[in-house]
C-alpha cells in the first residue's frame, strides 16, 4: 500500500471546515437580509454544499493522489449534490416557509435568528463536514491494486443505484402531488411500493458508494464514519422518522401503508390480511 499524504489531507480537512462555515454564513445572510427571515433555503445549501466541498478538495489535492479518482469522486458528488439542490429549490418555489423552521423559531427563548443558528445552522455545518469525510480523504493517495478496481466498480454501482432511487422517487412523488386526484391519498406506486422512502434510501446508497471509492487506503475507513452518520440521519434521525411522526394524522391510509411497505431498504410489499380497509 502506497504512502498516504497525511499532511496534505489534514490541511484539506481544516480548509474545508472553513469553507463549510462560510457557505452556511452566506446562507444565513441571504435568509435574513434577502429572503425576509425565511430559512428553508438552507435545504438547498445542504445539497450544493457537498459539491462545494468536493470542488475545494479536488483543487487542494491535485498532485497528491490519482487524478482519475479525484475527478470521479468530484463529479459523482457534484452531480448528486447539485441535483438535490435544484430539486429542493424547485419544490419550495411558490410555497410557504417550511413548518419545521417556523416551529423552531416559535420556540426561540430570545432572538429567533440566534436560535436558528444554534439549532439548525451550526448542526448542519458539523454534520456536513463529517459526512463529507470520504469525499475529502478519498482524494488523497495512490493505488493500482485489483482490490481498488473492485471497490471502484462497487462504489460506482452503489452510487448509481442510489441516484436512480432518489431521482426517480422524487419525480414519481412530484407527479403524484401535482395530480389533484391524489389529494389526501398515499403514494404507494412505483418505487414507493417497495420502500416508504426511496429518496432517503437513494441518498444512503450514494454515500456508501462514495465511501467505497475512498477505501484505496485504510484512511478511507475514517470516511465511513461520515457515511454511517448520513445513513443514521436518513433512517432514524431527521429523515424518515421525523417525516413519519405526523404524516399518519394527515393521511388516514398511511397506517396500512406502513404495515405493508418497508421503511427504508426496498423490499417486496407484505400481504396484509384481515385488514378492515383491505390493501390498496
Q: Which three cell numbers stand for residue 161?
A: 443505484
User: Is 234 among the domain residues?
Assistant: yes
Please state, in angstroms and rounded to a whole number, the distance separating the CA atoms of residues 31 and 23: 12
Question: How would you class 227 by CB atoms within 10 Å of its CB: exposed for 0-12, middle for 13-18, buried for 19 or more?
Answer: buried
User: Is 24 among the domain residues?
Assistant: yes
User: Is 278 among the domain residues?
Assistant: no
Question: How would you class 88 by CB atoms within 10 Å of its CB: exposed for 0-12, middle for 13-18, buried for 19 or more?
Answer: buried
Q: Domain span at residue 187? A: 6-260
257 neighbors 186 (Cβ within 8 angstroms): yes
pTM for this entry: 0.90
User: Is 271 among the domain residues?
Assistant: no
User: Is 266 among the domain residues?
Assistant: no
User: Is 198 among the domain residues?
Assistant: yes
**Comparing C-alpha atoms, which of 137, 202, 208, 217 is closest to residue 171?**
202
User: Is 229 among the domain residues?
Assistant: yes
| Local confidence pLDDT in tens for the 280 residues of the chain | 468 999 999 999 999 999 999 999 999 999 998 888 899 999 999 999 999 999 999 999 999 999 999 999 999 999 999 999 999 999 988 888 888 888 888 888 888 899 999 999 999 999 999 999 999 999 999 998 898 999 999 999 999 999 999 999 999 999 998 999 888 788 889 999 999 999 999 999 999 999 999 999 999 999 999 999 999 999 886 655 556 655 655 566 788 888 899 989 999 998 876 544 433 3
User: Is 280 among the domain residues?
Assistant: no
Count structural domains, the chain: 1
Q: Which three cell numbers stand for residue 199?
A: 429518496
Distances (CA, A) of 157 to 68, 152, 191, 205, 213: 17, 8, 18, 9, 11
Amino acid at each position: 500500500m502506497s504512502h498516504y499524504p497525511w499532511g496534505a489531507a489534514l490541511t484539506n480537512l481544516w480548509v474545508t471546515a472553513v469553507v463549510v462555515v462560510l457557505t452556511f454564513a452566506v446562507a444565513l445572510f441571504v435568509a435574513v437580509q434577502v429572503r425576509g427571515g425565511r430559512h428553508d433555503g438552507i435545504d438547498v445549501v445542504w445539497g450544493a454544499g457537498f459539491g462545494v466541498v468536493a470542488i475545494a478538495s479536488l483543487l487542494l489535492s491535485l498532485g497528491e493522489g490519482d487524478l482519475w479518482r479525484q475527478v470521479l469522486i468530484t463529479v459523482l458528488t457534484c452531480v448528486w449534490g447539485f441535483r438535490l439542490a435544484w430539486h429542493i429549490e424547485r419544490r419550495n418555489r411558490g410555497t410557504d416557509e417550511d413548518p419545521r423552521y417556523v416551529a423552531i423559531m416559535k420556540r426561540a427563548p430570545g432572538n429567533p435568528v440566534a436560535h436558528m443558528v444554534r439549532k439548525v445552522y451550526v448542526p448542519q455545518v458539523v454534520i456536513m463536514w463529517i459526512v463529507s469525510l470520504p469525499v475529502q480523504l478519498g482524494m488523497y493517495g495512490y493505488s493500482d491494486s485489483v482490490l481498488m478496481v473492485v471497490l471502484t466498480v462497487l462504489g460506482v454501482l452503489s452510487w448509481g443505484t442510489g441516484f436512480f432511487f432518489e431521482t426517480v422517487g422524487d419525480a414519481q412523488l412530484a407527479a403524484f402531488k401535482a395530480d389533484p386526484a391524489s389529494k389526501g391519498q398515499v403514494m404507494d406506486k412505483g418505487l414507493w411500493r417497495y420502500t416508504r422512502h426511496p429518496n432517503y434510501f437513494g441518498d444512503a446508497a450514494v454515500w456508501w458508494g462514495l465511501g467505497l471509492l475512498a477505501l484505496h487506503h485504510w484512511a478511507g475507513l475514517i470516511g465511513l464514519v461520515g457515511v454511517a452518520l448520513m445513513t443514521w440521519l436518513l433512517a432514524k434521525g431527521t429523515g424518515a422518522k421525523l417525516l413519519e411522526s405526523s404524516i399518519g394524522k394527515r393521511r388516514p391510509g398511511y397506517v396500512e401503508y406502513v404495515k405493508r411497505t418497508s421503511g427504508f431498504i426496498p423490499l417486496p410489499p407484505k400481504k396484509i390480511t384481515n385488514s378492515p380497509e383491505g390493501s390498496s
